[in-house]
Amino acid sequence: MGCKVVKGADGLTSMIVCSRGGGQGCEFCDNPRGIKLCDFPDDNGQTCDARMCRDCATPHGEDRDYCPECELLHQAIRP
């Protein structure tokens, strides 16, 4: 069973959504092997944790990877 945290539209609430099967693939392409989690920090001291495959991950150092969405954000805020 794959579960993920989904934030509410108001930005204050969140919920945990679980499903049977699936859920383990990359969230950005059709690759069924989402083997990495996004390490981009959020405003709450957590990380994005979006599931992604090696092809969709952008490495940052030896042990950090960003998903495509967070990589765009990183590029936008980088000095």
How many domains does the chain contain in total?
1
Instruction: Classify residue 70: in a domain, yes or no.
Output: yes
Question: What is the tens place of the pLDDT at every residue in 2-11?
Answer: 677 777 778 7
Instruction: Classify residue 7: in a domain, yes or no.
Output: no
Boundaries of domain holding 31: 24-79
Question: What is the tens place of the pLDDT at every residue in 37-59?
Answer: 999 998 888 999 999 999 999 99
Instruction: Classify residue 78: in a domain, yes or no.
Output: yes
Instruction: Classify residue 38: in a domain, yes or no.
Output: yes
Q: For 67-75, which contacts have Cβ atoms below 8 Å and span 24 or more sequence positions?
A: 67/27, 67/28, 67/38, 67/40, 68/28, 69/28, 70/38, 70/40, 71/40, 73/40, 74/40
